[in-house]
Amino acid sequence: MLKKLGKYEILREIGKGAMGVVYEGNDDVKMRIVAIKAIRKSTVAQSEVKEVFSRFRREAQVAGSLNHRNIVRVYTYGEEGDVAYIAMERIHGTELLNLIDSGKPFTAEEVNYIMGQLLDALQYSHERRVVHRDIKPANLFLTNEGVIKIVDFGIAKIESSILTAAGFVLGSPFYMSPEQYVGNQIDGRSDLYSAGVLMYQLLTGSLPLIGKDISETIQKVMHEMPQPPSRIKPENVTPEMDAVVMKALAKYPEERYQSAAEFAHAIRLAAGPDSPPVDIAHITAMPETRPEQQQYNNAIQSQHIEAVFGEMTRARMAEFEKQLAGLRETYNKKIN
């Protein structure tokens, strides 16, 4: 294990991904504990090194320019030999994905609480012309104090088509907006679609649109509307909350909420003025049991879908791009 990166003493490893490692580090100068995300060039395919490191550097630049309670603070970007690293705020809590995958039920009040913080952060970033492009439970942390934190701005503000030259999708398939799939220019309303998918998942425990494979998932996202959340959890979702979610999941940006603030206001109205306060201990607690349906959802949602998607596009790039071209033509005809 590394002993030091820049001015940061490495204390221990706290996480590992496909290409990177996250360490807990000590900043002697600022007298604070930090999280350090590091990647080595040697762990990345030679053909992808330039793109991966450029995206990593962009994450530090974009996130470092934002200062909001619900966005993880980035302190430093650095490179040492084979390693590039980002030092950031150390968070104590859990990924929202872990709570969802555990089968934890969320009350309407808790959904309002979580979405309010997320949308406040998105309003802030959108006002600064930063579109996250990959809002999903794995990129949202819930701290032990009940604070939502957005992480991973690695593809934020990148102006390119849906596929990179290496065949990787810019975004996560279950949460991507239709305009992301067809490679159209996107704005903050694409993040609001992704937030709508998350809200649906929090209310029901299920994703709104799932196909048997990536191609079918794309078709569903482009052409089908999910059943209203109240059909799945009638005891938890009111018609007013149904209407909010379904508007957020509209296929065309102009049919959705036009700002995160508008979306948040609609949720508050649907929740009603007599909404009880949220119990922080309850919202952050992991449930003791996992129902069979949630185990099924977990198997679908927790797979490394980005890697699967990348391999599929490499193997069938021409076919996949032809499919996207057809979807793009149909989608844009409806817009115009």
**Reported confidence tier of residue 113, pLDDT bands at 50, 70, 90:** very high
- Give the model confidence (pLDDT) of 9-45 as tens digits: 999 988 876 667 889 999 988 889 999 988 887 777 7
Could you tell me which residues are beta bridge partners of residue 93? 143
Residue type, 311: E
- In this prediction, residue 275 carries a pLDDT of 74
Q: Tokens for 25?
A: 């580090």
**The CATH number of domain 8-89, selected from 3.40.718.10, 3.40.50.300, 2.60.120.620, 3.30.200.20:** 3.30.200.20
Q: At what angle do helices 260-271 and 188-204 cross, to 10 degrees?
A: 30
- In this prediction, residue 250 carries a pLDDT of 96
Q: At what angle do helices 188-204 and 108-127 cross, to 10 degrees?
A: 170
Could you give the CA distance from residue 205 to residue 118 in angstroms, rounded to a whole number? 18
Percent of the chain with pLDDT strictly greater than 90: 35
Q: Is 134 tagged catalytic?
A: yes
Q: At what angle do helices 188-204 and 239-248 cross, to 10 degrees?
A: 140
| 8-89 and 93-335: identical CATH topology | no
- Point out the least confidently predicted range of 26-35, 44-53, 96-105, 310-319: 310-319
- The residues, ordered by sequence, that sit 6+ positions from 311 with a Cβ below 8 Å of its Cβ are none
- In this prediction, residue 153 carries a pLDDT of 72
- In this prediction, residue 314 carries a pLDDT of 47
Please report which residue ranges of the chain form alpha helices under DSSP H. 49-64, 96-101, 108-127, 178-181, 188-204, 214-223, 229-232, 239-248, 260-271, 280-284, 292-301, 305-315, 317-335
- In this prediction, residue 189 carries a pLDDT of 95
- In this prediction, residue 20 carries a pLDDT of 77
**Phi, psi (deg, nearest 5) at residue 132:** -70, -45
129: left (phi over 0), alpha (psi -120 to 50) or beta: left
Could you give the CA distance from residue 278 to residue 117 in angstroms, rounded to a whole number? 13
Percent of the chain with pLDDT strictly greater than 70: 79
- Average pLDDT on 204-228 reads 84
The active-site residue, picked from 27, 101, 134, 242, is 134
- In this prediction, residue 18 carries a pLDDT of 60
Kindly list the distances between the CA atom of residue 239 and the CA atoms of 116, 152, 225, 245, 263, in Å, as whole numbers in the listed order.
Answer: 19, 34, 16, 10, 16
- Average pLDDT on 235-256 reads 94
- Average pLDDT on 233-241 reads 90
- In this prediction, residue 244 carries a pLDDT of 97
pTM, rounded to two decimals: 0.81
- In this prediction, residue 24 carries a pLDDT of 93
121, 143 contact by CB (below 8 A): no
- Give the model confidence (pLDDT) of 251-309 as tens digits: 999 999 999 999 999 999 998 877 778 888 888 887 765 554 455 444 444 443 443 44
Q: What is the DSSP string of 235-250?
A: TT--HHHHHHHHHHT-
- Average pLDDT on 66-73 reads 93
66, 128 contact by CB (below 8 A): yes
The domain locations on the chain are: 8-89, 93-335
CATH architecture of the domain with range 93-335: Orthogonal Bundle (1.10)
